[in-house]
């Protein structure tokens, strides 16, 4: 059983067939060494390196329910409530360590959702999807894969169903069924860590009707499969990573780690039968979407909290550098940031603690509480970020370029006028300000603020599920009973 290190993970990416990647109008020939892409690779490498750190090994690994071997938790099928809680704790740890999106949550959530859904399909229809998926998960565990969970289609005209679209390619769909497999076309948008993954696990993006059966496809393909093209997403301040000067790293805010989102195009990609886990069974699309969404909404109670810890630390640090850490209003704001952040964590732990064993044998979080968790995530990080910006002051968006520090003459001016509290190095103060910019406005803000809003479904998606699962009729009965109102 392989437990890769970060270096081994990066080497495994080199062994893939060349990917077709476009970034800012250029075809990228060497993505691993590209400054923008490499930062996102470093974040995933961290998920491998922490496995080998004695302080984190137990949290970063799990016992496979398929083989009994020790595996990376990101390849794990949850088999207890403790597993669900450890997942949230692991995600918080990684958010703390890299301060951005580490890109492996989606694949972990996808394999658990597909696992329980293929079991349900086989039980009702007598198909053999579940066994094929078991073989796939064993392979993922053995090879320690990073899997990109592919759910979000571009969708085109939202007022029309997939089969009604003028351009059917805005949803991934089957264009040809053969004895040995299928051919698919379409696209997946907002794909976290797509370029950095070994595999893509493709799922339907919404419930489907019978006429949408060609769009009810769940399958897996290698990231380097023929016919796959990647369009790398632009993010705020991304060009700062192209600055090769040492002082330029200061302007990045988070020089080492970054996130990644891509538009992934599938043009007549062949998928063999052994990698097909749903093929037209439209009545099960809702099951896979609902369970995946629940797992992923639980995830945000961990990863966003970990990044939130960094925001809180940045708030206290810049307050110290400014000489105001002990001010009562600063302490009150930091306390409020902590309260909001721990509330999110509480939701992640709660939906895990209330999880239940599925008929397939893995554990699923409490779906209502997972949606409550994500609904809070669409709000609280924005307030946490607002408070951080309040504490930081305006310099985090008006600070001169770090290149001014390269010239001895201009550096003297910067150090003289941007000095903070006694004993604080001006460069350290600037580094912290740039980190705050990165966390609340720059590249990390994509993985913290925007992803908090739209990742795992936008706010209305959670409100629909909360309304559906809130059991209002039963609550009405409770009130009427106490009020002695007879039905």
| Whether the Cβ atoms of residue 92 and residue 306 lie closer than 8 Å to each other | yes
Q: Is 176 a catalytic residue?
A: no
> What backbone torsions phi and psi does residue 104 show, to the nearest 5 degrees?
-105, -5
Residue 334 CB neighbour total at 10 angstroms: 19
Rounded to whole angstroms, what are the CA distances from 79 to 84, 111, 115, 400? 8, 13, 12, 52
Please indicate whether residue 303 is annotated as part of the active site.
yes
**Which among 101, 219, 347, 373 is annotated as catalytic?**
101
Q: Are 90 and 59 in contact (CB under 8 A)?
A: yes
β-pair type (20-23, 228-232): parallel
Task: Please pick, among 105, 150, 285, 347, the residue that the annotation labels catalytic.
Answer: 105
Catalytic annotation, pick one of 117, 118, 152, 192: 192
Indicate which residue of 199, 261, 290, 437 is catalytic: 261
Q: At what angle do helices 105-125 and 129-143 cross, to 10 degrees?
A: 160
The number of helix segments (H) and strand segments (E) in the chain equals 18, 14
The 3-state DSSP class for residue 155 equals coil
319, 325 contact by CB (below 8 A): yes
Catalytic one of 75, 218, 303, 373:
303
**Helix 285-322 and helix 105-125: axis angle, to 10°?**
160
Cβ within 8 Å of residue 416, ≥6 positions away = none
Catalytic one among 141, 290, 437, 451?
451
d(CA 416, CA 38): 35
- Residue 105 appears among annotated catalytic residues: yes
User: Active-site residue 404, yes or no?
Assistant: no
Provide the sign of the torsion angle of the four alpha carbons 193, 195, 200, 204, taken in this order. Answer: positive
Strand partners, 276: 219
In the block, which residue shows the tokens 């990416």?
13
**DSSP codes, 321-338:** HHT-TT-HHHHHHHHHHH
Angle at 40 between CA 297 and CA 141, to 5 degrees: 65
- Distance (Å, rounded) from C-alpha 420 to C-alpha 431? 13
What is the H or E stretch that residue 159 is in? none
Listed as own residue / partner, the contacts of 120-124 with beta carbons closer than 8 Å and 24 or more positions apart are 120/284, 120/287, 120/359, 120/360, 121/278, 121/281, 121/284, 123/359
Structure tokens at 325: 């850490």
Quickly list H helices, 167-284: 248-252
The alpha helices in 144-277, defined as continuous H runs, are 248-252
Instruction: Give the helix/strand (H/E) hosting 363.
Output: strand 363-364
Annotated catalytic residue 57: no
Q: Does the annotation mark 342 as catalytic? A: no
Instruction: Give the DSSP H or E segment for 54.
Output: none
Quickly tell me which residue has 């076309």 as its tokens: 185
Q: Which of 130, 296, 351, 440 is catalytic?
A: 296
Residues marked as catalytic = 101, 105, 192, 261, 296, 300, 303, 451
């Amino acid at each position: 059983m392989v437990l890769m290190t970060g270096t081994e993970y990066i080497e495994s990416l080199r062994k893939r067939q060349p990917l077709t990647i476009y970034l800012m109008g250029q075809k990228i020939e060497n993505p691993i060494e590209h400054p923008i892409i490499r930062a996102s690779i470093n974040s995933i490498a961290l998920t491998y390196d922490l496995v080998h750190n004695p302080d984190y090994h137990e949290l970063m690994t799990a016992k496979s329910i398929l083989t009994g071997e020790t595996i990376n938790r990101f390849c794990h099928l949850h088999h207890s409530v403790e597993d669900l809680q450890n997942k949230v704790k692991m995600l918080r740890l990684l958010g703390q360590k890299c301060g951005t999106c580490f890109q492996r949550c989606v694949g972990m959530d996808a394999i658990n959702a597909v696992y329980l859904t293929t079991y349900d399909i086989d039980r009702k229809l007598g198909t053999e999807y579940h066994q094929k998926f078991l073989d796939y998960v064993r392979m993922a565990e053995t090879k320690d894969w990073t899997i990109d969970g592919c759910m979000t289609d571009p969708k085109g005209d939202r007022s029309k169903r997939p089969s009604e679209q003028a351009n059917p390619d805005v949803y991934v769909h089957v264009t040809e069924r053969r004895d040995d497999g299928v051919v698919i076309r379409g696209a997946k948008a907002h794909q976290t860590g797509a370029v950095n993954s070994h595999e893509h696990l493709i799922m339907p993006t919404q419930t489907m009707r019978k006429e949408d059966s060609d769009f009810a496809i769940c399958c897996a393909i290698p990231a380097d499969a023929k016919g796959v093209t990647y369009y790398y997403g632009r993010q705020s301040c991304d060009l700062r990573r192209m600055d090769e000067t040492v002082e330029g790293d200061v302007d990045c805010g988070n020089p080492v780690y970054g996130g990644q989102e891509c538009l992934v195009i599938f043009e007549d990609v062949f998928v063999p039968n052994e990698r097909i886990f749903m093929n037209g069974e439209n009545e099960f699309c809702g099951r896979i979407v609902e369970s995946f969404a629940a797992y992923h909404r639980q995830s945000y109670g961990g990863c966003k909290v970990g990044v939130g810890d960094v925001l809180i630390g940045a708030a206290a640090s810049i307050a110290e550098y400014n000489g105001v850490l002990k001010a009562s209003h600063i302490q009150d704001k930091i306390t409020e940031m902590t309260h909001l952040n721990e509330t999110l964590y509480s939701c992640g732990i709660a939906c895990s603690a209330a999880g239940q064993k599925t008929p397939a044998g893995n554990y699923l979080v409490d779906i209502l509480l997972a949606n409550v968790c994500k609904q809070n995530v669409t709000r609280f990080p924005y307030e946490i970020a607002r408070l951080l910006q309040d504490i930081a002051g305006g310099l985090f968006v008006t600070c001169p370029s770090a290149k001014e520090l390269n010239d001895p003459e201009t550096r003297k001016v910067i150090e003289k006028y941007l000095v903070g509290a006694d004993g604080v190095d001006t460069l350290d103060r600037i580094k912290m300000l740039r980190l705050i910019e990165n966390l609340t406005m720059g590249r990390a803000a994509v993985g913290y603020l925007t992803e908090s809003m739209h990742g795992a479904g936008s706010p209305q998606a959670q409100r629909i599920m909360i309304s559906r699962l809130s059991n209002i009729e039963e609550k009405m009965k409770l009130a009427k009973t106490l009020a002695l109102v007879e039905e």
